[in-house]
Structure 1
């Protein structure tokens, strides 16, 4: 009997669903960040030592997905933003040989009001038939915890959720002690230099109530959206807070090809080297700061120390520039759902990084009419550009001899990225680094040119 057939016969299938009075976009926000979900349902961080196969008794089967995550970019995830995501794993040892887990979101009225039906599904292949029942029970417990996580999120207001102040059901959301004296003084000075008292109070709430993951990686434009505040006001607040010792600042260089990001060594200079090479895809490119650098913040350790636990190496929430990602098996055609708005989209093949410009047009609102087609061969895409219809689908045919992972993604930085082209012009930023050699680098005119990629 082949391994594939044996796996099919031993697969344990578990499906649970529940409707919540919540918008589909909010449900996606809660469930697409697998790391946050894993923390909420009790998974240990990835870096912890996991039990060997010989130690895997019923205690370890209580969390059958508790395996080390792969290093580097994780292409085992497939998704279409705001609709579904799914992951697949295979293992050589341990209680499971393989598992497939997915989440699907559909509109469904709850109590006569708009809501979302959340469906969780899993296909698990236990290492031995005797493990089928424990694996099934463990999967149901984890799904029930996931539903409690969503229900708890409904009890938290939108702002608290956005800053990581998760509901009490999230037992593992760590929060370290806060130096209240330093925090109070810093917030007082923020208001004294002209920043809105309401925004200063929200910053204080983030520092006090945000979990470690939220406090360690702050995107000011994402906060602005959550706080319903002007983006520039929030960015100015974070910069002023950095000068007052509330936050630390860091630049992340984003590869213009694969979009992987890495923190620069010099916090005042985004892209300190004239040339950079992406550690993920190997592409050499000019470090053009207005298009490749994103400004992020973290709470200053003198105010509150934060841990940076990793609960998942890959998840749909981690690359916000990707709208959809699918595995396209060799010799097959797969349809990818397209975004509803037409901006700088493209198709890209993971690993090989072959890119195809994607132009979106207004199209039919129903049916399958107007589906565009893109063809991938051993030599790359067969065209230099392809046209699709916003909100519809595009068919990708893989004529290669090997499977390919294809993504629908943005060309530039995503909407929540605080790009260098804006941040560097603010006086609050220049005041931070007025006395160092960063200013000479930043003011060089040739830093704001188009990307040059080899």
Structure 2
């Protein structure tokens, strides 16, 4: 018997149902590199054309909290219960939804990355959904064809980028994350605010990188702004770039906000426009805990584009994605 606190082996994922759509290919790259793209069920849902969702934590039939997603696919209303997904990075990901409303009763995804000889990896993605009606089952072959085509395009892009290098991989992630959410930038406002930022002393190379980010980065990287990536792009210390971004807020190019991170799940539990608005206690809807806020450990400053320059349009397809919890290497229920 293992002693308390000992790490236990992580089991493998469940098998997908026999009628699942499965697309596989061999990629000449290590699993960790491929996981940076495919270890994100939110990104996979975007590529498959699933709609943006609104999530809430409710009380389930068993009296326990359950995450509920709601969306619309054209005229069709969708509502589902989404249990926490399971994963073991960078090897596998598995998740299922139980639908309360919509054309299917349940659906799921499994990603499996299996190392092979000479640094290659066998990549397998399985998708499934169980139709409620006989008519929808008759349409199954046509629906499968579209899903297979999207998955093949996804794996083709992942293979090309993974085999090329880190920069190509980052560009591929950005392209995929823009799927379904076109970037809207007010060119006149951006030009004015960039000029104002130069006047208040923001470095030219930081402004150039920031303009590129505002025009090309997907919403998940600008709201809040990925300051680390920006600092890496210009080759300057993070502290120097953050100082420039503070100056950019005075020019109206960016906004400064405050994010309160949950000490348990380490994702954002609350946001505030001003530090004075941060409460002494915060409730985390993800892990259902309430905690005292330690300003040194739990509160961080974040930057986002001023809405006159680029409106905030952050959307989520899958709230259970491992990508939202990069500090968690493995999670198995």
For Structure 1 versus Structure 2, the TM-score category normalised by the shorter chain is 0.7 to 0.9
1:101-137 Cα deviation digits (max 9, x unpaired): 111224457xx7x554321123544444646544543
Partner of 1:406: none
Question: Cα 1:34–1:243, aligned 2, differ >3 Å: closer, same or farther?
Answer: farther
Structure 1 segment 50-449 matched on structure 2, within 5 A? 50=73, 67-68=78-79, 70=81, 74-91=82-99, 94-108=102-116, 114-127=119-132, 128=134, 130=138, 133-134=141-142, 136-150=144-158, 158=167, 161=170, 165-166=174-175, 172-180=180-188, 182-188=189-195, 190=197, 195-225=202-232, 229-269=236-276, 272-327=278-333
1:208 offset after TM fit, Å? 1.4
User: Which of the pair has the greater relative contact order for Cα pairs under 8 Å at 6+ separation?
Assistant: 2
Contact 1:37 1:149 (8 Å CA) reproduced:
no
Corresponding residue pairs, total: 299
Which deviations, in whole Å up to 9, do the C-alpha atoms of 1:38-84 show, x marking residues without a partner?
333432222542467xx7xxxxxxxxxx95454xxx53311122222
Alignment root-mean-square deviation, CA: 3.7
**Structure 2 vs 1, CA of residues 68 and 151 (structure 1 numbering), >3 Å: closer, same or farther?**
farther
Q: Is the 8 A contact 1:50 1:68 kept in 2?
A: no
Residue 23 of structure 2 corresponds to which residue in structure 1?
A: 16
More helix by share: 2
In structure 2, distance between residues paired with 1:215 and 1:310? 14
The residue number in structure 2 matching 1:355 is none
* TM-score, normalisation: structure 2: 0.73
Q: Unpaired segments of 5 or more residues in structure 1?
A: 1-7, 56-65, 328-454
Is the alpha carbon distance of 1:212 and 1:305 closer, same or farther for their aligned partners in structure 2, counting shifts above 3 Å? same
In structure 2, stretches of 5+ residues that fail to align are 1-14, 55-70
SS in 2 for 1:257: coil
